[in-house]
Amino acid sequence: MTYRLSDESDDPKNEHPILANGIGRFRERLKEAMKGAGARGFARDCGLSEGAIRSYLSGETYPTLDRLTQIANASGVDAVWLAFGAMDTDVQDSSEDRYAYIPLYDARISQGHGAWLEGARILTMLAFTRHSLRRKGLEPSQLAAVRVDGDSNEPVLSDGDTVMVDLSRNTLQGEAFYVIRLDDLLYAKRLQRQIDGGVDIISSNPAYATIKVRPDQMDSFHVVGRIVWAGGWMI
């Protein structure tokens, strides 16, 4: 199967035999590379037309190699990954080198644990490509996975979902989801720092009230790590 890569003409020489399983999800990788930027501004950064970027995003056409390089350079991503979804090193490395294995503990967030994972056992190991972790700036040795209890974060996190926690990010660095320990209980919550030095602990489910930790209560509050990945069943 061949894909016609976009160009200014319909000359048959512009057709390139690229396997469907290599480029089929290009538009998803392009959206990731754009990091939320609009098509017009991103096109300007790449030196391309807005129409070309929108065509790539819709899946109607695919960029030629020179345009692919322009997009990769503008977005700071690897051109091989952008085109095919894998880097050469990922293809050449052995399975042992390609994957990092993150422990999934039997501790459930919202259950009482005096210390992070105290007495918890490893249920299994979750496999992630080292390339995907590197791209997110994550160190495998600093990662752990646990499951979520309850519906306080519906619809973002559901009961039984698995979350991966970066234990190296154990200070509040902007509004995000964190695993925290409050009064010796573990919670997965969105945190928001207040101007007076306190912290708001926010549930995604509006049925649950925001918990406010005052500055003089911070001794009972501890950030375990930032949640960097979540997964769960859709049925």
Alpha carbon 70 to its chain's center: 24
Instruction: Give this prediction's pTM.
Output: 0.56
* Lowest mean pLDDT across 8-17, 99-108, 114-123, 194-203: 8-17
pLDDT of 102 higher than 80: yes
Mean local confidence (pLDDT), 13-42:
70
Q: Are 180 and 186 in contact (CB under 8 A)?
A: yes
Cis peptide before 17 (omega within 30 of 0): no
Spans of all domains in the chain? 3-85, 96-231
Q: Do domains 3-85 and 96-231 have the same CATH topology?
A: no
Hey, what CATH topology would domain 3-85 get? 434 Repressor (Amino-terminal Domain) (1.10.260)
Of 156, 155, 163, the residue nearest 179 (C-alpha): 163
For domain 96-231, the CATH superfamily is Umud Fragment, subunit A (2.10.109.10)
Q: How many residues does the chain have?
A: 235
**CA–CA distance, 156 with 20 (Å, rounded to integer):** 33
Question: For position 92, what pLDDT does the model report?
Answer: 45
Question: What is the C-alpha separation between 157 and 163, in angstroms, rounded?
Answer: 9
Q: Reply yes or no on whether the pLDDT at 167 is more than 80.
A: yes
